[in-house]
Structure 1
Amino acid sequence: MDIGILTALIGGTLALLSPCGALLLPAFFASTAGSGPRLWAHGGIFSVGLLVVLVPLGLGMGVLGTLFASHREIIIIAASILMIVLGIIQLLGIGFDPSRFIPGAEQLQKQANQRTGWVKTLLLGAVSGVAGLCAGPILGAVLTLAATQNDVWTAGGLLAVYGLGMVVPLLLLASVWGKLSSRWKTRLRGRIFTVFGREFHSTSVITGIIIIAVGVLFWTTNGLVTMPELLPTKTSAWLQESSAILSNPLVDVILLIVVVGIILGVWIRARYRKANLVAEKQN
C-alpha cells in the first residue's frame, strides 16, 4: 500500500466525519435499515452509488494527467502547491461544495431527498461522493493525486478507495449508532476551539494538516517516487500473487451470484416479515 492509497482511504473516512452534517448518514442508515443483512444490503447499494460517480471522476482526472505526462516536473510542483492550498482551506474551515461544478448534481440531490427505500440509498450514495462544503477540499486533494497517476485505471481505483473509506466506517457506525451515548456522538462530531479570536473545528484541522503534509511530501519525494512503500517489498509481492486468483472470470461470476443472492435473501425476508405483520393485523 503506498501513501496515495492510504491518503485516499483516510480522506474518505474524514469526509464522513466532517463537521458539515456528514455524521447524519449513520443516523439515517440506523433508522431506515436497522441492523444485520438489511443494513449491509443498503450499504452495498450506497457503495454502488458512490462508485458510479467517483470512479468516472477519477478516470477523467487520470486521462487529464496522461495528457501532460511529458511535463511531470511541472505537474508535481502544481499538484503539491494545490494540495497545500486545499489543506490550508480545509484547516481554516472555509471549504467549498464540489457538486456545484458537476452538471446535474443539484437535480440528483433533489431526487435523493424526494425518493424513499433502495432508490433513495442509491441516490444518496451518488450525492454523498461529491457533495459537502467541508468535504470539498478533501475530494479536491484526492482528485489532484489521481491526476498525477501515470495510469488511468490507478486513478479510478484511487477514487474507489476514497469511497471505501466512507462506506466502511459508515456501516460500522450505523450498526452501533443506537448503542452510542450522546457523549460518544459528540466526540465523533469533533469540537470547536478558538485561536486568536478565530474558531476552528478539530476534524477540519486534522484533515487540513494531513493534506498539507501529503502536499509537502509529494513535492519533496518527486511525486512519491522516492517515498518508501508502507509495506515491505516481499509482503507486497506476496499480496499481489495471492490476489491474482481474483482476476479469474469464474471468481467474478461467483461473487456476482453471491451478491445477488444476498440482495434477494434480504428482499424475500422483508416480504415475508411484511406478510406476517399483515396476517397478525388481520387476526
Structure 2
Amino acid sequence: MDIGLLAAFVGGTLALLSPCAALMLPAFFASTVGSGPRLLAHGAVFYLGLLLVLVPVGTGAGALGTLFVTHRQAIVLLASVVLVVLGAAQALGFGFDPSRLLPASADLHARAASRTGLAKTLLLGAASGIAGFCAGPILGAVLTLAAARGDALAAGVLLAVYGAGMVVPLLAIAALWQRLGDRGRRWLRGRTVTALGRELHTTSLVTGVLIMAVGVLFWTTNGLVGAPALVPVEAQAWLQERAGGLASPVVDALVVLGGAALVLLVWAGRRRVRGGDAQDAEDARGARP
C-alpha cells in the first residue's frame, strides 16, 4: 500500500468523524440495522452506494489529470499548493459542500429519506459520498491526489479506498455503539477549542494538519514518487515467499474445512441460545397462576 492509498483511507475515516456528521451515520446504523450479518449486509450495500458516486468522480479527476501528464512538475506544484490550502481551510473550520456541484443531489437526499430497507441504505451511501460541509476539503484533497496521478483507473481505486475508509469504521462503531457509552461517543465526536479568536474543532484541526503534511510530502517527494514504501521491499519479498508456500491444495482444503467448522459452531451456538430463551419463556408461562 502506498502513502496515497493510506491517506485516502484515513481521509474517509476523518470524513465520517467530521464535526458536521457528528456520528449520525453510525447512530443510524446502530438504531435501525442492529448488528451481526444484517449490519454487514447493509454495510456492503452502503459501500456500493458510495462506489456508484465516488468512483466515477475519481475516474473523471484522473482522466483530467492525464491531459496534463506532460507537465508533471507544474501538476506536482499545483497539487501541493491546493493540498496545503485545503488543509488550512479544514483546520480553520472553513468548508464547502461538494454535493451542490452535482445535479439532482437534493433529490437524491429526498429519495434516501423516503425509502426503507436496503434501498434506503444504497441511496444513503450514494448521498453520503460527496455530501457534508465539513468533509468538503477532505474530498477535495483526495480528488487532488487522484488528478495528480494522471491515471483514470488508479484515481478510481483511490476514491474506492476513500469510501472504504468511511465504511470500515462506520461498521465498527455501529457494532460497538451500545458498548461505547456516552463517554466513548463524546471522545469520537471530539471537542471545540478556541484559538486565534475562533472556535475550532479538534477533529478538523487534526485533519487539516494531516492534509497539509501530505501536501508538503507531495512536493518534497515529486508527487509521492520518491516517498518511502510503507512496507520495506525485503518484507514484501518475504511475505510473497510465504504466501507462495501456502498455495497448495492441502492448505486450501484445510481453510475450507476450518471455515465450515466455524459456521457450524456459530449456528449451533445461536440455536442453543434460542432454545434456552424459548425454554425460559415456557417456564415463565407455566409459573403463572
Same fold by TM-score greater than 0.5: yes
- Tell me by how many angstroms 1:196 deviates: 3.3
Q: Which residue of 1 aligns with 2:85?
A: 85
TM normalised by structure 2 equals 0.82
Give yes or no for the alignment of 1:5 onto 2:22.
no
- Tell me by how many angstroms 1:178 deviates: 1.6
Taking the aligned partners of 2:138 and 2:21, their CA distance within structure 1 comes to 15
- Work out which of the two has the higher radius of gyration on C-alpha atoms and give 1 or 2: 2
Q: Which residue of 1 aligns with 2:106?
A: 106
What is the root-mean-square deviation of aligned Cα atoms in Å? 2.4
After TM superposition, the structure 1 stretch with the greater mean CA deviation from structure 2, 193-202 or 81-90, is 193-202
Taking the aligned partners of 1:22 and 1:75, their CA distance within structure 2 comes to 35
Q: Which residue of 2 aligns with 1:183?
A: 183
Number of equivalences: 250
- Tell me by how many angstroms 1:151 deviates: 2.4
- Tell me by how many angstroms 1:240 deviates: 7.0
Q: Matched residue of 1:181: which SS?
A: helix
Contact 1:15 1:22 in 2 (8 A): no
Q: Which residue of 2 aligns with 1:280?
A: none
Q: Which residue of 2 aligns with 1:67?
A: 67
Letter in 2 for 1:46: F
Contact 2:55 2:160 in 1 (8 A): yes
- Tell me by how many angstroms 1:180 deviates: 1.7
Describe how 1:194-213 pairs up with structure 2 within 5 A: 194-213=194-213
After TM superposition, the structure 1 stretch with the greater mean CA deviation from structure 2, 225-234 or 181-190, is 225-234
Q: Which residue of 1 aligns with 2:287?
A: none
Taking the aligned partners of 1:92 and 1:165, their CA distance within structure 2 comes to 23
Residues 90 and 240 (structure 1), Cα distance of their counterparts in 2 relative to 1, 3 Å cut: farther
Deviations 1:218-257 (A, max 9, x none): 11111111111111123345667859xxxxxxxxxxxxxx
- Tell me by how many angstroms 1:32 deviates: 1.1
Deviations 1:87-142 (A, max 9, x none): 01000111100000112212111111111111110000001110000000000000
- State, as a whole percentage, how many aligned pairs show the same letter: 63
Letter in 1 for 2:130: V
- Tell me by how many angstroms 1:22 deviates: 4.5
Residues 239 and 97 (structure 1), Cα distance of their counterparts in 2 relative to 1, 3 Å cut: farther
Gaps of 5+ in 2: 245-289
Residues 179 and 50 (structure 1), Cα distance of their counterparts in 2 relative to 1, 3 Å cut: same
Q: Which residue of 1 aligns with 2:58?
A: 58
Letter in 2 for 1:130: I
Q: Which residue of 2 aligns with 1:35?
A: 35
Q: Which residue of 1 aligns with 2:164?
A: 164
Letter in 1 for 2:40: W
Give yes or no for the alignment of 1:124 onto 2:124.
yes
Letter in 1 for 2:221: T
Give yes or no for the alignment of 1:47 onto 2:47.
yes
Taking the aligned partners of 1:238 and 1:60, their CA distance within structure 2 comes to 37
Deviations 1:48-85 (A, max 9, x none): 00011111111111100011100111111110000100
Taking the aligned partners of 1:58 and 1:155, their CA distance within structure 2 comes to 5
Give yes or no for the alignment of 1:138 onto 2:112.
no
Q: Matched residue of 1:193: which SS?
A: strand
Question: Deviation above 2 Å: which 4+ runs of structure 1?
Answer: 234-243
- Tell me by how many angstroms 1:195 deviates: 1.3
Gaps of 5+ in 1: 244-283
Taking the aligned partners of 1:118 and 1:235, their CA distance within structure 2 comes to 41
